[in-house]
Amino acid sequence: MFISAGHGQVPGVTTPPGLFDAVLFDRDGTLVHDVPYNGDPALVEPVAGARAALDRLRAAGLRLGVVTNQSGIARGLLTRAQADAVNARVEELLGPFGTWQVCPHDDAAGCACRKPAPGLVHAAARALGTTAARCVVVGDIGRDMGAALAAGATGILVPTPVTLAGEVAAAPAVAADLPAAVDEILRRQASVAAAGQPRRRRHVLVARPDSAGDVLLMGPAFRAVAAHADRVTLLCGPRGRAAAELLPGVDELIEHRLPWIDPQPQPVDPAAMAALTDRLAGFDEAVVFTSFHQSALPLALLLRMAGVPRVSAISDDYPGSLLDVRHRVPPGVPEPERALSLAAAAGFPPPPGDDLALRLRADRVVPGDLPPGYVVVHPGASVPARAAPAGPLRAAVAALAAAGHRVVVTGGPAETALTAEVAGDAGTDLGGRLSLGELAGVLAAASCVVVGNTGPAHVAAAVGTPVVSLYAPTVPYGQWGPYRVPAVRLGDAAAPCRDTRASVCPVPAHPCLSTLEISAVVAAVGLLSASSKPVEVAA
């Protein structure tokens, strides 16, 4: 049994292999040159390389759709018939699309379809027989990326001269032009395909001796390995043990603190390394999962010394005879996809029917006793640079309560003073009271969670709860943001700490999150709570 996000598979539809089923395009500025409020088919001009790029997607079996805001209809600048005529001309020049989803409203309407609201993306996914989580949205402005994130889809921004610098900084992925976006989609789609015919293994070791959030992001890859193995053992560290116990597909755990991975390493203990080497003997194969800044080679050496006959890992460094499969991944790929690509390269492609979302074992998730539908605010983070200051979060809790939301504040045992401060008189303080399994149960019943780039964001994604991501840009959002779950990104994406990987904020006053607008938090919660879906339990 596992907890499956509500944005998972369509009932009765088998998910085919690959990351994506469909690609949804903005129209103006993305597929065709932007002519403001165009009602004249004669003015339609495709962007360079559009037809050939779209035909490549069609040849790869991906379904195509268009999601377009046309506020000129509401403003009386063109009719719906004129908009439809322009769309027909686009299709005449660029080939067929499986669905056209048009929002005829302007911002004053407050509709659920005008981007950055997710309505068009969800409608297009339904029309194409899939879900938003298995769609890519390609557009040229921040509204397109906002709609993609709010729906739980993958977003790729193709900037034009009208794209704002802040929109580029906040985008989960950026491509130079439409053909380059298609190149990236097809590369990512192919990255999880098996290299040759998969074969059955008896006992496979997978390794990710890192923090809880890092371990949770490996879930889809671990399930892929488990689909082709009789037994899977996970080597984890003490910081990731609680998360490892929640993952489907893992039969056994080995816990060991590795001094080349742990952020506060102890001196190397030869006796402990010898004991670990002895424990690693007997596996038929090993797949070593690491972050982009970590080396798999020390563990690969121990595995060779233990006699493991086949070892796979991502390694830019020359591995000599330590690796049988030396895999390489370009920077910026989402961590779950990075891991899936390694699993596939090692001969463990995802099984048919797996939607590749994060998941947890239902028997390890402890249901809470609160009536469902509340908002969770989790103020802490694994490193200080990623945590929003307590003052703005306390104000956000008060504002959410004033807007009619029930608010629950969560945190670890060392964060009770913080959670009490943030909860104030407006929220229910659960700081220090929950195990990770209990936290998962609380998050599963929430309408959304407000949280930084830390483990509980990935717990929320694994139970299908939308995330208001208070994201410090010290690491790329596209790589570490909430995966395949509806989200809104808040915070200054272009702050000076961008891409520093700092654990302590290097900029005075922590500007990326200290300038958080409380009204933006309330609006994001309203947007995501309105589209929140119930959690499904599947066998």
Active site residues: 26, 28
322 token code pair: 């330590």
If DSSP codes are grouped into helix, strand and coil, which group holds residue 220?
Answer: helix
Residue 484, Cα to own-chain centre: how many angstroms? 5
Q: Is the peptide bond before 116 cis (omega within 30 degrees of 0)?
A: yes
Report the distance separating Cα 160 and Cα 171, nearest Å. 14
DSSP 107: G
Cα-based distances in Å from 84 to 38, 79, 80, 155, 284? 11, 9, 6, 25, 59
Q: In what order do the strands lie in the sheet with 63-69?
A: 99-103, 63-69, 22-25, 135-139, 154-157
Closest C-alpha among 229, 256, 483 to residue 346: 229
Buried b (16+ CB within 10 A) or exposed e, 155-169: bbbbbeeebeeebbb
DSSP 277: H
Which residues are 449's β-sheet partners?
A: 376, 467
First to last CA, the chain: 5
Burial of 263 (0-12, 13-18, 19+ CB in 10 A): exposed
The residue to which tokens 């908002």 are assigned: 375
Report the distance separating Cα 485 and Cα 217, nearest Å. 13
DSSP string for residues in 31-82: TB---TT---GGG--BPTTHHHHHHHHHHTT-EEEEEEE-HHHHTTSS-HHH
> Which residues have a Cβ under 8 Å from the Cβ of 231 and sit 6 or more positions away?
202, 203, 204, 251, 252
DSSP string for residues in 149-164: HHHT-EEEE---TTS-
Q: How many CA atoms lie within 13 A of 315 on its CB side?
A: 21
Buried b (16+ CB within 10 A) or exposed e, 378-401: bbbbbbebbbbebebbbbbbbbbb
23 token code pair: 């690609």
CB 227 within 8 A of CB 350: yes
